[in-house]
Amino acid sequence: MIIFVDGEKNEIEENSTVIDLVKNLNLTTPEKAIGVKINNVLSDFNILLKENDKIIFISFDEKQGKDIFWHSSAHILAQAVKRLFPEAKPTIGPSIENGFYYDFANLNINDNDLKKIEKEAKKIISENLKPIRKEYKNKKEALKEFSNNEFKCEMINEFENGIISSYIQGEFIDLCRGPHLSSLSKIKAFKLTKTSGAYWRADAKNQMLTRIYGISFPSKEMLSEYMTLLEESKKRDHKILGQKLELFSLKEEAPGMPFIYPKGIFIWDKLIDLLRSFLKKANYIEIKTPQIMTKELWEKSGHWFHYKENMYITEVEKREFAIKPMNCPGCMIYYKSNVHSYREFPLKIAEIGHVHRFEPSGALNGLFRVRSFHQDDAHVFMKPNQIKDAILEAIDIADKIYQTFGLTYKLELSTRPEKSKTIGTDEEWENATHGLKEALDDWGHNYKINEGDGAFYGPKIDIHIKDALGRYWQCGTIQLDMSLPEKFDLTYVDSDGAHKRPVMIHRALLGSIERFFGILIEHFGGNFPLWISPRAIRLIPVADRHVDFANKIKDEIDKLDLPCDIDDTNESVGKKIRNAQLLKVNYMLTIGDKEVENNTINLRTRDNIVHGEIKLNNFLEKVSLEKKEKTLISPFRSSAN
């Protein structure tokens, strides 16, 4: 029997399963194969293979691999809880960005209980159970299986037509679509990290549940590295630094909707200015579309049918409206407001749009996962032969932005999902994918292909940036959209006078600006480069008689448009310096009798290096150039990181 593994032809025996194939190819370690896609569908390892099946193995390093690994771990957590607390009722247990959690009703625990649960979970792993999938003929059969758990029954009743399945491991059974690990022994390190409360379905009107968080890995070394990284991450936690540095806050009055403070707005404006400078050079035009638009618009775009549960909906004069979760439909309306010619192409339309999306309370995470955020969206309309150049330009802008902050990145190309679940012709998909691939080939950087992971409306390129701790964050995306131009009947007049459908690229480079802001806080640990620092320079007069000279220096620094303040409090000089260091001030300029007499300043950088007496003009020249060139390293040899 012939099958294709990562595009290569392989011959295997009849009635072979994925497990047989894994053993034959020596892919038994998690680094090589945690999950599998069969004909672009995630599947379990005990599936029988058929002639001409296309097989793609997924490792733990990939997002889908981690999802399978961590969701399987969530089931282990639930099984451990049920063994120790039989009255507890499991509700949901998804994988999240770093690990997993599970919510339980009828469960009250403390830190000592957490240790016991972790011990029991490790015991379950040592039993080397093999999760078995069970499918139900109908809802009635599934409801009977979970009749003692009203939370599971509520979910079952809401399922649309389709297969309902569960997974069994030992005595434990849980409602789940899967897939799961073929064997729990693949989990070599398992740790529970914390507990919290969470409302069922994130609704305060519902029952309060107990949430348990955890993390797991294929090796103890990976857990050790993760815990070390976690400790370093705590020092850079943007939620803590955001409060200490007076950048932003999150309040109960608006869950998941950040309050950005004046020091944060300073950084925000610098980000937007940087972005707009690149857009201007690339001949983008910018628009602003309404926050609230009618139900009919969202029906036309498809969001009402596929995204309604994540939208904020209101009624005005007996008519339904929705706060926009995405900027795209507004741009489609703008495009249709005029007749367009091929001579305008590529037509590049940007919008830094404010969007709102409902996220469950348990998923909210500082600026990284919010309900209210801004996206640096753009929609580029073009002819098919312009795809490659448009993609290259978008990547080039992203590259320049990321380089400005010392961020490296990796690229991933996601191709067409299962044909029946996509729109567009084979030719359109082939042309679109070829355009993206050709652009990536020309760009000359390594990139990864994620077969079948594209959107239903087109292939896409995702950009994952790497921060100072080596963590990757998915920020930029470049998507070829064949859906919205069709749904909104967008056309242009070609050179032959015919009305044709434009090709449209949807791209965001910072992604969520709030999220990018949070990433920068952690990347720099609050030690921002001078050009983006909201506290660039602090003048520290030794005594009251030195304040007048400090004000004169401030006037000179103000001409450079650099944030500068004077600490003229009655504190000691040492205390003033410590306060400035805690606030991550780039440069502290101490002024005493000698400095007034010599027209100098006594310089200390935030890495606590004393540079001593320096001519004022020399200092001003260097920081002026540092700001202009957006350098990451101080000319006074102080690390900006």
Longest dimension (CA), the chain: 92
Strand partners, 477: 462, 508
DSSP conformation class of 525? T
Helices 220-236 and 513-524, axial angle in degrees (round to 10): 100
Write the DSSP string, 309-354.
GGS-EEEETTEEEEE-S-SHHHHHHHHHTS--BGGG-SEEEEEEEE
| Given the residues 64, 79, 375, 479, the one annotated as active site | 375
| Given the residues 44, 67, 103, 377, the one annotated as active site | 377
| Given the residues 180, 356, 460, 507, the one annotated as active site | 460
Q: Does 460 participate in catalysis according to the annotation?
A: yes
Helices 262-281 and 387-404, axial angle in degrees (round to 10): 140
Do 94 and 176 touch, CB atoms closer than 8 A? no
Do 441 and 461 touch, CB atoms closer than 8 A? no
CA pair distance 297, 488, nearest whole angstrom: 10
Q: Does 426 participate in catalysis according to the annotation?
A: no
177 phi/psi in degrees, rounded to 5: -85, -15
Q: Does 234 participate in catalysis according to the annotation?
A: no
Query: Which H/E stretch holds residue 228?
Result: helix 220-236
| Given the residues 133, 201, 236, 357, the one annotated as active site | 357
Q: Does 396 participate in catalysis according to the annotation?
A: no
| Given the residues 236, 238, 506, 606, the one annotated as active site | 506
Do 105 and 151 touch, CB atoms closer than 8 A? yes
Q: Does 276 participate in catalysis according to the annotation?
A: no
User: Residue 203, SS3?
Assistant: coil
CA pair distance 259, 127, nearest whole angstrom: 49
| Given the residues 328, 331, 475, 564, the one annotated as active site | 328
Strand partners, 603: 589, 612
| Given the residues 379, 515, 538, 546, the one annotated as active site | 379
529 phi/psi in degrees, rounded to 5: -60, 155
How many beta carbons lie within 10 A of that of residue 47, not counting itself? 16
Positions marked catalytic: 328, 357, 375, 377, 379, 460, 506
